[in-house]
Structure 1
């Protein structure tokens, strides 16, 4: 659940280049959207760089730091206990090693270990940001060989990461005790009214918290199933709401995914942000919302009203991308 493990589009999903057609590229560049007619919209590099970690900017945001510092008192205690333990043992290690490497290097190590409770969440978030891009540069989907001679002769899947906004609607939302749980083992989200992460009964008994299971679908046959630790912030999510996230792929047609971000869930009526779903806050939330308003995607969500105008095209649960 805590790592992005694998992606594979189901066989019924169309992966032709129509999903990233030139017409969409031109509309995105012109920032002139009507009712949103595409659900996989190419994202320019200049927009992705403002909302995502990049190889040149992996510095954790405040939300990312807090994610590893701990969201509940229990998590913060465990994080502090781990940090203090490392600080104590590290300081002792630095003292004894000073007789071998000298006072100067030992002092530097001692200072690092001493501040480890503060530095640890920063280092962990930095590593998580690096894992999203893996040192690969972000590139524009519509870039052709003639646009930049650098790409000539280089395989498409070795050029870097293409990015696109995945726009969908919430087809179903429920709660499970394990990401491998079948449909028969799902619980209605309404049954968890009053739930808080701090008072998770399942976690207090088994050590593992409840998980949110959300199924996303669009009008082109793509489906995605996402799991995340249940939070009180998710209790207002309902089927029919809109969702927008960023997908990353080494393929121009997005036939295989290399990464994805957390999803912003929008109210289907007024377009307000209801919740952010994901096990890690990759996206700069304020910058992401500003970008969606600027490029017209946010306004188009209200105009389209996906839940009322389109019927989901996938019926089988095993036809979804399973993200754990």
Structure 2
């Protein structure tokens, strides 16, 4: 099922300013906070140096620059999330998509490497790997996409055939070619599968409830088949 969304509804689902979940995503770990603090300190130092060249005639400008730089550690996540939202909001057309989980399996992905010294004093390269959930969803029209996210305990409930819902965006008014998709909502478990939480979740659940009613499905017009890359068969099963 693919139902076009009005621009107003889409902008409610993908806000211009970061939501709480999006802010939390970009707040990151302690190392991310420390990095932003260092940027704030460097920014304040740069503003102080700039003030010595400009003099008191630009005090208001200097104050605003210093205030912004000093609190970058706090407002930085808002800026980063808002920029990411803007990249999705640039597409003029959007739709509510509902299909099924086609396949689900776990892989171990390389997320980084680091050098360390073993007991014999030799320098060795250690690979950091993370277990990831690979979720493949599709529908009867042939549309197919996949999402890879870090594995969580609640993901173990997911099985092929589960109902999957998300927002899709396109540059075409008939949504015949999908350019990007949002995070995925599994209504059977009230479970979200996402790396970045694009959608305002309470609003999406309300849209899902409204559009998934039998009357809404009966009145939905047939949509052209979105073009997607051929689906690859997977032999590895999710356990």
TM-score by length of 2: 0.76
Contact 2:144 2:231 in 1 (8 A): no
Asked whether 1:172 is paired with 2:103, we answer yes
Q: Counterparts of 1:132-147 in structure 2 under 5 Å?
A: 132-134=88-90
Q: Counterpart of 2:75?
A: 119
Contact 1:237 1:274 in 2 (8 A): no
Q: Counterpart of 1:63?
A: 21
Q: 104-113 or 119-128: which moved more?
A: 104-113
Asked whether 1:257 is paired with 2:187, we answer no
TM-score by length of 1: 0.57
Asked whether 1:82 is paired with 2:35, we answer yes
How big is the shift at 1:252? 2.8
Asked whether 1:224 is paired with 2:224, we answer no
- Local SS of the residue matching 1:170: strand
Structure 2 portions without partners, runs of 5+: 111-125, 217-229, 235-239
Q: Aligned pairs, how many?
A: 204
How big is the shift at 1:84? 1.0
How much is the aligned-residue C-alpha RMSD, in angstroms? 2.7
Say which of 16, 39, 44 aligns to 2:6. Answer: 44
Structure 1 portions without partners, runs of 5+: 1-38, 71-75, 135-159, 180-204, 268-272, 302-314, 320-324
Q: 1:106 and 1:128, CA in 2 relative to 1: closer, same or farther beyond 3 A?
A: same
How big is the shift at 1:162? 1.7
Q: 1:45 and 1:107, CA in 2 relative to 1: closer, same or farther beyond 3 A?
A: closer
Asked whether 1:317 is paired with 2:213, we answer no
Q: Counterparts of 1:86-97 in structure 2 under 5 Å?
A: 86-97=39-50
How big is the shift at 1:98? 0.7
- Local SS of the residue matching 1:177: strand
Q: Counterpart of 1:286?
A: 202
Say which of 106, 129, 134 aligns to 2:85. Answer: 129
Counterpart-to-counterpart distance in 2, 1:221 and 1:256: 12
Counterpart-to-counterpart distance in 2, 1:298 and 1:62: 29
Contact 1:237 1:275 in 2 (8 A): no
How big is the shift at 1:228? 2.1
Q: Counterpart of 2:227?
A: none
Please state which structure has a larger fraction of its residues in strand.
2
Could you report, residue by residue, the CA deviation over 1:159-183 in whole angstroms, capped at 9, with x for unpaired residues? x62211111111111122349xxxx
Of the two structures, which has the highest relative contact order with CA contacts closer than 8 Å and spacing of 6 or more?
A: 1
Q: Counterparts of 1:292-303 in structure 2 under 5 Å?
A: 292-293=208-209, 295-297=210-212
Q: Counterparts of 1:200-211 in structure 2 under 5 Å?
A: 206-207=127-128, 209-211=130-132
Contact 1:64 1:282 in 2 (8 A): yes
Asked whether 1:266 is paired with 2:222, we answer no
